[in-house]
Amino acid sequence: MPEPLGADRLLALYRKMLLIRRFEERCNALFLQGRIPSTLHLYIGQEASATGVCAALRQDDFVLGTHRPHGHALAKDVSPRIIMAELMAKATGCCRGKGGSMHVGDVRQGVFPAVAIVGAGCPIAAGVGLSARMRGTDQVAVAFHGEGAANEGDWHEALNMAAIWKLPVIYVCENNLYGASTHFDKVFRVAHVADRAVAYGMPGVTVDGNDVEAVRDAAITAVARARAGEGPTLLETLTYRQCGHSRSDACDYRPDDEETEWKSRDPLTVTGARLLAEPHSLPQSALDEAEASVATEIDDAIAFADASPAPSPDELERYVYWEGD
């Protein structure tokens, strides 16, 4: 078992989750004000998944996100400034305004442009893992994906190849019970996505995806296995999006009591309570300070994006092909 976190490091994870939560809430407001021109898939409610996984990674490890990528990028320390600038379609954005919400990433942090084709990031992550091994490094690759992706052919092909070649990849399946409006039970005959791991000869682990410590512990085990050359893990994080699938989703397909039940297990509430209780026994002011510093960081990101120019017309045909470092 990995070493339990002390108060300082658990507070840091709490702050990271809070950053993602408040960032997403502000994105929603900016979207409603018409200042973010794209669609948005928000990560509200799922923060413990990316935060726990990325807590087990090094700066030089790799992450592939999905159509719901803001949380993945923030958890891997991509700057909120350049994510916000990208969402607001500015030239200073992390993709220079060529990507938008669904493709945020920053290779300097090991975060590739997110892949918004469901499942398609899974083989790419296997290739990143293969490359790490061929280049003689011990870097690992994480492929975040929703449970919906586990019904794509790419997912199955990728898990099989990662397993037969023992590639250093962690397939993190964020099972939030729905793929768009479709419930898990309608499209799976197995109880858990992780049950499918046995078909590929790799460990399949299901954890409470709203418990950042549980996610981190499972990720540490999977990352250690990958770094040691023992191969991939399918890590399923059970979570729930406390918002619509995308911008205009009222979630009428979800029962109220289900939503209430999951909100009572909100990842911030869970970890916040843990920080205040024994053995950490932090004062409420520690959480308040986190709230205040997150607000300042997001204000700064929005101010940066606001002050940035839109891409100039002569940028139109750029970056279709590689232009050099």
Partner 1 sequence: MAVMGIAEALREGIREEMRRDPTVFCIGEDIGVPGGWGGAFTVTLGLSEEFGPERIIDTPISESGFAGIAVGAAMTGMRPIADVQYGDFLFCMMDQLVNQAAKMTYMAGGAVKVPLVMRAPVGSTRRGAQHAQTLEVFFTHVPGLKVVAPSTAYDAKGLLKAAVRDDNPVLMFEHKLLYGSKGNRAEKGAVSPIGEVPDEDYIVPIGKGAIRRPGKDVTIVGKLLTVYRALGAADQLAEQGIDAEVIDPRTLVPLDKELILESVRKTHRFVVVEEDNRTHGWGAEIAAMVAEEAFWYLDAPPVRVSAPDIPPPFAPGLEELYVPSIDRVVAAVKGLF
Ligand X SMILES: Cc1ncc(C[n+]2csc(CCOP(=O)(O)OP(=O)(O)O)c2C)c(N)n1
Q: Is 2 in the site for partner 1 (CB under 8 A)?
A: no
Tokens of 118: 């469901």
Tokens of 181: 């409006």
What's the count of helices (H) and strands (E) in the chain, helices before strands?
Answer: 11, 7
Residue 302 CA, chain-centre distance (Å), reads 21
Catalytic residue numbers, as ranges: 241, 245, 253
Site for partner 1 in 96-125 (CB under 8 A): 96-99, 103, 105-107, 112-113, 115, 117, 120, 122-125
Tokens of 320: 């279709």
Site for partner 1 in 41-70 (CB under 8 A): 62
* Residue (93 or 148) nearer to Mg ion, CB: 148
Q: Is 316 in the site for partner 1 (CB under 8 A)?
A: no
User: How far is it, in rounded angstroms, from Cα 80 to Cα 186?
Assistant: 37
User: How far is it, in rounded angstroms, from Cα 9 to Cα 274?
Assistant: 13
Stretch binding ligand X (CB under 6 A), from 13-21, 69-77, 145-153, 198-206: 145-153
* Residue (22 or 67) nearer to ligand X, CB: 67
CA atoms within 13 A on the CB side of 89: 10
- Whole-angstrom CA distances from 163 to 16, 166, 214 are 32, 5, 24
**Among residues 97, 148, 209, 244, the one that binds ligand X under rule CB under 6 A:** 148
**Among residues 56, 161, 193, 197, the one that binds partner 1 under rule CB under 8 A:** 161
User: How far is it, in rounded angstroms, from Cα 41 to Cα 167?
Assistant: 30
Q: Is 61 in the site for ligand X (CB under 6 A)?
A: no
For residue 244, the partner it binds in Mg ion, partner 1, ligand X, none, with Cβ less than 5 to 8 A by kind, is none
Residues engaged in binding ligand X (CB under 6 A): 67-68, 116-118, 146-149, 176, 178-180, 245
